[in-house]
Amino acid sequence: MATFQYIAKDAAGNETRGQIEAGDRASAIAAVRAQGLLPTALGEVKNAPAAQPSKKPAKKAGGTVAKKGGGLGSKEINIKLPSWMRGRVKTKVLTQFTRQLATLVNAGLPLMRGLEVLKRQMKDPQMNEALTGIADNIAAGGTFSESLTQYPKIFDNLYVNMVKAGEAGGVLEVVLGRLAEFAEKSEKIKNKVKGAMIYPIVVLVAAIGITAFLLVAVIPKFKQVFNDMLGGAALPAITQAVIDLSEWVQHNGLTLAIIVAALVVIKKVVGKTPAGAKFYDLLSLKMPVTGTLVQRTAVSRVTRTLGTLLSSGVPILQSLVIVRDTTGNRIVSQALQNVHDAVKEGEGMTQPLSQCSVFPPMVVSMVEVGEETGALADMLTRIANTYDDEVDNAVAGMTAAIEPALIIVLAVVVGTIVIAMFLPMIKIISSVSGAGA
């Protein structure tokens, strides 16, 4: 008989810890379930008295420890990644992990067992290291949500607080499923916006490159031809303007590059100041073409995040703080802070939302209905779904408008240069024909 230490949840979602003797791991899990408990962590205690819990070194933030002997798996030595190699795990990797863990837990597999299964197939080194540390922390007596806080670059406040709410309510698999769905929808919107900008950027870069090549390499040769053939005669105004621009670019190209680089640096420096960052965030919402897209994306993100948190059991004040810190736009964050302050004073969300230009009247009205009917989380999710569709339409419309506009601009620029160079050629051809006659 072996001794197993377990962490389990009862029917009310309360956490229970203890030890049990069984012939193997499967029998231990069955014995825990026979007590009406749902095991979330279970490990064999080797070379330890039955009445004493197993002692394992706790995982420290940013690294892993070597396992020696007794534990939840076979002997292995985990190499800690240097701090400079650590960073954020790709959203796709995190989403896939969350979805798979939700499926395993929902199928009745203990949390620790699910983490072990996913760790064996995890190819991302940072995520693999995190799973090792999380398993070590849980085996040492910590909760899943407490273990996630050791890796803030991978699991943000939204993730940790939703897991904490799922643990408290005994619905961890449901919360993990919502987290995966939330991440998938957010990534889908982000990819659509990025994809819509690829073609316009390519066309813009091509236009700049072609124009620069013509001004630096082609126009000077035409200028020499004109001087030789026309003997210094006056050129058409459009031709002279293009030649003057070409000479300016050749003589001031380095200065122009320095000015552009300086503007980029100044923008970044100003953007790091509170006032500058707030100005840029406001500007992004007010831009003629892209402002509507930014606003709809912000509304979709805020309502989906808040709805997901509330439906997972996170208190509304805590949910508002989490959403405020994850919007990425200071204007929207300030609006949510006003909502938080109003709710804290016992008021509703409708009034402070209506005072902010970010949230359209339709959103405010639906939030008001959600508060009155007690279905705020469901109403917020519906708003998010609606605005996801509007973001899709806005992206499609913006792409349809930008693509031909850029092509027209490129045609006008190149066409102007061609016409400017062709007009003197007509005069040269005419003079040559007259001389020949």
Predicted local distance difference test score (pLDDT) of residue 11: 64
The 3-state DSSP class for residue 307 equals helix
DSSP-derived letter for residue 40 is E
> For residue range 253-267, what is the model confidence (pLDDT) as tens digits?
788 889 989 999 998
Other C-beta atoms lying within 10 Å of the C-beta of residue 427: 16
Cβ–Cβ contacts within 10 Å for residue 271, how many? 13
75 HSE (CA, 13 A, CB side): 3
Centre a 10 Å sphere on the Cβ of residue 9 and count the other Cβ atoms it contains. Answer: 20
pLDDT in tens, 26-51: 787 778 877 877 776 677 776 544 43
Give me the percent of the chain exceeding a pLDDT of 70: 86
What value does the mean pLDDT take over residues 326-342? 87
Mean of all residue pLDDT scores within the chain: 79
* Higher pLDDT pick, 62 / 21: 21
67-85 pLDDT per residue, tens: 333 333 333 334 444 444 4
84 to 61, 62, 88: CA distances (angstroms): 14, 11, 12
Residue 250 has pLDDT above 80, yes or no: yes
Distance between alpha carbon 328 and the CA centroid of its chain, in Å? Answer: 10
Within-domain flag for 388: yes
List beta partners, residue 38. 9
Structure tokens that stand for 252 in this block? 């001031």
pLDDT tier, 87 (very low <50, low <70, confident <90, very high otherwise): low
For residues 282 and 300, give the distance between their C-alpha atoms in angstroms, rounded to a whole number: 17
Taking a C-beta distance cutoff of 8 angstroms, is the pair 384, 370 a contact?
no
CA dist 136 → 132, 172, 215, 299, 411 (Å): 6, 19, 64, 39, 63
Burial class (CB in 10 A: 0-12, 13-18, 19+), 292: middle
Assess if residue 180 is contained within a domain. no
Residue 52 lies in a domain: no
The answer to whether position 72 is within a domain reads: no
| pLDDT score at 169 | 67
In a domain, 19, yes or no: yes
Domain that holds residue 34: 1-47
Considering only residues 287 and 9, tell me which one the structure prediction assigns the higher pLDDT.
287
Among candidates 366, 347, 304, 329, which has minimal Cα distance to 338? 347
What whole-number distance in Å separates Cα of residue 413 and Cα of residue 397? Answer: 25
Retrieve residue 335's tokens: 């609006």
Q: Is the pTM of this model over 0.75?
A: no
Q: How many domains does the chain have?
A: 2
pLDDT at 58: 38
Mean pLDDT value of segment 57-68: 39
Higher per-residue pLDDT: 89 or 69 = 89
| Confidence (pLDDT) at 79 | 41
Contact 90, 183 (CB under 8 A): no
pLDDT at 394 over 60: yes
63 within 8 A of 133, measured Cβ to Cβ:
yes
Instruction: Name the token pair of 371.
Output: 């508060």
Classify residue 255: in a domain, yes or no.
yes
Q: What CA–CA distance (Å, rounded) separates 94 from 173?
A: 16
Asked whether the predicted pLDDT for residue 239 surpasses 60, the reply is: yes
Confidence of residue 66 (pLDDT cuts 50, 70, 90): very low
Question: What does the pLDDT read at residue 262?
Answer: 93
Structure token pair of residue 281: 């965030």
Range in 52-56, 84-88, 299-303 with the lowest mean pLDDT: 52-56
Predicted pLDDT at 261: 92
Mean pLDDT of 341-353: 88
Q: Which of 195-209, 259-273, 290-304 shows the highest mean pLDDT?
A: 259-273
Mean pLDDT of 2-25: 77
Angle, in degrees to the nearest 10, between helices 91-106 and 172-213: 160
Q: Which alpha helices (DSSP H) does 219-348 contain, by range?
A: 219-230, 237-271, 274-286, 291-311, 316-326, 330-344
% residues pLDDT > 90 (the chain):
3
Query: pLDDT category, 61, cuts 50, 70, 90?
Result: very low
- Flag whether 376 is in a domain: yes
Cα–Cα distance, 221 to 276 (Å, whole number): 46
Q: Which residue would you say has higher pLDDT here, 366 or 392?
A: 366
CATH of the domain at 395: 1.20.81.30
Give the closest residue to 306 by CA, choosing from 383, 390, 193.
383
CB 320, CB 158: distance < 8 Å: no
Looking at residue 435, its pLDDT comes to 57
Evaluate if residue 414 carries a pLDDT over 90. Answer: no
Residues 6+ apart with CB under 8 A from 373: 379
pLDDT at res. 47: 54
Does the residue 381 lie in any domain?
A: yes
- In sequence order, the β-bridge partners of residue 39 are 8
